[in-house]
Chain A
Amino acid sequence: ILNVEQSPQSLHVQEGDSTNFTCSFPSSNFYALHWYRWETAKSPEALFVMTLNGDEKKKGRISATLNTKEGYSYLYIKGSQPEDSATYLCALMGNTDKLIFGTGTRLQVFP
């Protein structure tokens, strides 16, 4: 059973703060890790796909790292803005082709 866990469950930060959250997954069953940004009433939007241990990806102020040996990925947001407010989901694809999501980290950025 693939168990993907995200922490914290929710996060409130001030505009300009940098923040990060964690996605943990079983290291023995790894094929790829996805990060999504999900705004209320919209579809999840793909941010990153990571496949190799040590991968680092960046998109504007958002970046992510991957450690497949210990089974975790970090998502960082530098200088948070109110428009960054959303739920951030990670999803693990193991070797069974299933894509299993964590429950997400709900980020709220206050002006």
Chain B
Amino acid sequence: NAGVTQTPKFRVLKTGQSMTLLCAQDMNHEYMYWYRQDPGMGLRLIHYSVGEGTTAKGEVPDGYNVSRLKKQNFLLGLESAAPSQTSVYFCASSQLDLAGVKSGPFFGPGTRLTVL
């Protein structure tokens, strides 16, 4: 049981390049989230998904796109990277039951992205 995994762990991009960050979870969780972490800003929600085939915008969605084609995977795309997107990106997943939060969110190890 690997939990939540993220690939890659590190990446350096040039301005204007594109890339996709992959988040995978093996806990059969319905909910998945992408956050970015910047100094003094805490964790800010970029996009999230409440189930396979659904996505929704978070607090800071501009410049990012996401897809949830399979329940276990949540992809974060940067179409044209900008230096302002230099950050550490965390993925998380959770499962809710009828009584409230059952488990999670559990976080992945993070992806450190630098845009030059």
Contact = CB atoms under 8 A, between A and B. Distances in A.
Chain B associates with chain A? yes
A103 B39 CA distance: 10
A100 B56 CA distance: 14
B2 to A, nearest CB: 13
Given A43-B107, A98-B58, A103 B48 contact: no
Contacts of A49: 100-101
B105 interface: yes
Nearest to B105: A99
Interface in B82-108: 90, 92, 94, 99-101, 104-108
Interface in A81-111: 89, 91, 93, 97-104
A32 interface: yes
A34 B106 CA distance: 11
B106 A46 contact: yes
Interface residues of B, number: 27
Contacts of B105: 34, 46, 99
A99 B58 CA distance: 9
Contacts of B99: 51
B42 A99 contact: no
A44 interface: yes
B62 interface: no
A28 B41 CA distance: 24
A12 B31 CA distance: 36
Contact of A97 (B35, B43, B50): B50
A42 B33 CA distance: 17
B101 A93 contact: yes
Interface string B25-63: 000000101010000111111001010000010110000
Given A46-B104, A49-B101, 13 more contacts: A31-B100, A32-B100, A34-B105, A43-B109, A43-B110, A46-B106, A91-B43, A97-B31, A98-B56, A99-B45, A101-B42, A101-B45, A103-B41
Interface of B: 31, 33, 35, 40-45, 48, 50, 56, 58-59, 90, 92, 94, 99-101, 104-110
Interface of A: 31-32, 34, 42-44, 46, 49, 51, 89, 91, 93, 97-104
